[in-house]
A and B are shown apart, each in its own frame.
Chain A
Amino acid sequence: MSPSPLENVIAAFHEIERVRPSGQPQGKIPPVARFAVTLTFLVTLVSFDKYDFPGVLGMTVYPLALALAEKIPVARGLRQLRHALLLVVLLGIANPFFDRAVAVRIGTVAISGGWLSFAVLFLKGVLALLAGWSLLRLTGVDGMARTFASLRFPPSFGFSILLMHRYLVIMAKETIRMRDAYTLRSGTRGSALKPSAWGPFAGLLLLRSIDRSNRVKDAMDLRGYSGAYRLPRPSDESTSAGWLYFVLWTGCFAAIRYCDPMLAIGKLALEIFK
């Protein structure tokens, strides 16, 4: 039997802790540097013209580097993220019908602007998804909370993320138990709730969550919570490694964006095979 969405959520949270490169050379890079590089990658990626397929193709260097050097399971990520590409595909699929002018010819094959822009949009979607998906796996939830603190986000924001991380698995397991109890007692085959159960099921979960949050609040008050939190910084993290990481990748993205290396590679390949 395939796992339910709730079980997938629990598995995804456990997986984050397994993939992170702690204790390796890549572990020296602070999470804020990874966040900055990811953001720079995304801004550069979406700034390419909608017909610039070679340019966007050049940006695949970043996810490839993550797959090879940081051992991010890119293929698994693509399988998990395929549903997130649905909106991109639905919007882009209209382009070939409205933009029929020939944009490029490959030999005798004429490719319309519509198909070209759809291909560019799809590739941008895939690369953007992989970059975002990889970020949390490289930094971890604690790393992201430290990143938000570094960027001067309100402390309540980062702390709420940490709390949510801790309680998501608990709430998901509680929901699974409630769902199994409902299925066994109601005699229904599937796990979808009947209308008569909408209110009591979700309402009970809501009230339990509120009671739990009040208990958490009391525990925080008893431990002297004042609005600030500190997360320990790993001893092997290096600020200079973070700066180097950011500068090198930003330079690489700028070169791909403005120097057209894919065009140069294409011309070189044509020269070699001529």
Chain B
Amino acid sequence: MHMSDALLTPAVAGTMYAASAIAVGAAVTKIRKSPQSVKVAEAGVMGAFVFAAQMINFSIPGTGSSGHICGGMLLAAVLGPAAGFLTMAVVLLVQCLLFADGGILAYGANLWNMAFYGCMLGGGVIWPLMTKGELSRKKIFAASIVGNIVALQLGAFSVTLETLASGITKLPFSAFVLAMLPIHLAIGTVEGLITGAVLSFVYDTRPEMLEVNSAVSTSRFSRGAMLAIFTAAALAVGGLLSLAASSSPDGLEWSMEKVAGTSELESSGDLHSEAAAVQEKTALLPDYNLPDSESAGGNILSGVVGSLIVLAICCLACGALNLRRNRQPSVS
């Protein structure tokens, strides 16, 4: 799933760099709170382990072929999501520079597609949720399989969106998705089984290594973490998934076309004209795109801007409500 530079435009590559930089910053901030030397040593040596482990061929019974692990969720389960993410960042960088496996310009996208989903989502959200309470081999296998499948599916979907947003290929969105997702479902399942087998061995041999990271999960997410997760999800849905929105008419438009023969009724009257004039002036991104444009980039921009504006208004509104509540005298 390593993307080459040729598959991205500077705008898309820059956007993914910005997103990955935020994730790296968050991981480094978290690592700074732990003893520095522990995490640096882990990132360096474990990065070498991941590199070596990726070269091991695991025979897939019944297929005659073999697979190999990526290692993101494995690292996150053992080292924690932040240290695992930093380690994968180093591994991907060395792969990019040494083997040209993934471009320098595409490094931000590759980091997001492989390390972020694998370590932060798979290892940081799915693993703790599914291994809550007392660990068992069943929970380890289930969490490994689900986490790897989700991470690889999201990674493959992101590759599709990033390539289409760059306008590199003429392949239709549906064909592209149908080609990428099933293959990565199979890869994710195999990787999940291998990861589960390795973590089960670690659990049998040194259970404390996995229990440390699972125990952390019994505490609730902090408010800041929840805010960050939902903000990222909103930006991802509004900015990227909006490209997958159907262009078919919605229920109302479909009904109007059947009844009136048109999906837009002309309005008459001064009030309607004035309202339309105001809307024309204020609509910076008409029809969820740049003015007089139908580009994918405009779609993404409108989704991101819209999400951020809604977030800002909600924060301001909640802040104002809190302020008002704090000023009112409490009734005892």
Determine the distance from Cα of A164 to Cα of B96 in the docked complex, in whole angstroms. 14
Tell me which of A47, A209, A227 contacts B9 (CB under 8 A): A47
Interface of B is mostly: helix
Determine the distance from Cα of A191 to Cα of B56 in the docked complex, in whole angstroms. 8
Residue of B whose beta carbon sits closest to that of A216: B41
Tell me which of A42, A135, A172, A199 contacts B51 (CB under 8 A): A172
> Contact at A114–B170, with CB atoms within 8 Å?
yes
Does A184 sit at the interface, judged by CB under 8 A?
Answer: no
With a cutoff of 8 Å between Cβ atoms, the chain A residues found around residue B193 in the complex are 195, 198
Determine the distance from Cα of A207 to Cα of B204 in the docked complex, in whole angstroms. 12
Interface of A is mostly: helix
How many contacts between A and B, using CB within 8 angstroms? 262
Does B6 sit at the interface, judged by CB under 8 A?
Answer: yes
Residue of B whose beta carbon sits closest to that of A159: B40
With a cutoff of 8 Å between Cβ atoms, the chain B residues found around residue A146 in the complex are none
> Contact at A129–B168, with CB atoms within 8 Å?
no
Does A170 sit at the interface, judged by CB under 8 A?
Answer: yes
- Residues 68-103 of B contacting A (Cβ, < 8 Å): 69, 74, 78, 86-87, 89-91, 93-94, 96-103
With a cutoff of 8 Å between Cβ atoms, the chain B residues found around residue A163 in the complex are 40-41, 43-45, 47-48
Does B163 sit at the interface, judged by CB under 8 A?
Answer: yes
Tell me which of A12, A97, A198 contacts B194 (CB under 8 A): A198
Chain B interface: which of A84-92, A234-242, A266-274? A84-92
> Contact at A87–B55, with CB atoms within 8 Å?
no
Q: Mark B192-215, 1 if CB is under 8 A from A, else 0.
A: 011001111110011001000000
Q: Mark A197-209, 1 if CB is under 8 A from B, else 0.
A: 0111111111101
Determine the distance from Cα of A26 to Cα of B289 in the docked complex, in whole angstroms. 49
Residue of B whose beta carbon sits closest to that of A8: B55
Does B169 sit at the interface, judged by CB under 8 A?
Answer: yes
> How far apart are B320's CB and chain A's nearest CB, in angstroms?
37
Determine the distance from Cα of A207 to Cα of B49 in the docked complex, in whole angstroms. 10
Determine the distance from Cα of A4 to Cα of B66 in the docked complex, in whole angstroms. 14
Tell me which of B2, B37, B48, B105 contacts A42 (CB under 8 A): B105
With a cutoff of 8 Å between Cβ atoms, the chain A residues found around residue B48 in the complex are 163-164, 167-168, 170-172, 209
With a cutoff of 8 Å between Cβ atoms, the chain B residues found around residue A212 in the complex are 45
Does B145 sit at the interface, judged by CB under 8 A?
Answer: no
Determine the distance from Cα of A205 to Cα of B202 in the docked complex, in whole angstroms. 10
> Contact at A94–B171, with CB atoms within 8 Å?
yes
Q: Mark B28-41, 1 if CB is under 8 A from A, else 0.
A: 10010000111111
> Contact at B39–A156, with CB atoms within 8 Å?
yes
Q: Mark A72-92, 1 if CB is under 8 A from B, else 0.
A: 000001001100110110011
Determine the distance from Cα of A81 to Cα of B66 in the docked complex, in whole angstroms. 22
- Residues 168-195 of B contacting A (Cβ, < 8 Å): 168-172, 175, 193-194
Does A45 sit at the interface, judged by CB under 8 A?
Answer: yes
Determine the distance from Cα of A165 to Cα of B86 in the docked complex, in whole angstroms. 15
Residue of B whose beta carbon sits closest to that of A134: B100
Tell me which of A128, A199, A210 contacts B6 (CB under 8 A): A128
Determine the distance from Cα of A12 to Cα of B66 in the docked complex, in whole angstroms. 24
Does B253 sit at the interface, judged by CB under 8 A?
Answer: no
With a cutoff of 8 Å between Cβ atoms, the chain B residues found around residue A45 in the complex are 5-6
Q: Say yes or no: A203-B202 contact (C-beta < 8 A), given A132-B100, A136-B98.
A: yes
Chain A interface: which of B57-65, B243-251, B305-313? B57-65
With a cutoff of 8 Å between Cβ atoms, the chain A residues found around residue B98 in the complex are 12-13, 16, 136
With a cutoff of 8 Å between Cβ atoms, the chain A residues found around residue B56 in the complex are 175, 179, 193, 201-202
> Contact at A121–B168, with CB atoms within 8 Å?
yes
> Contact at A161–B38, with CB atoms within 8 Å?
no
**Top 4 A-B pairs, shortest CB-CB distance:** A163-B44, A203-B201, A199-B201, A209-B49
- 8 A-B pairs with CB atoms under 8 Å apart are A9-B51, A45-B5, A45-B6, A171-B49, A202-B197, A204-B201, A205-B53, A213-B41
* Additional 7 contacts, C-beta under 8 A, given A205-B52, A221-B37: A47-B9, A47-B10, A164-B47, A168-B94, A203-B201, A210-B209, A217-B37
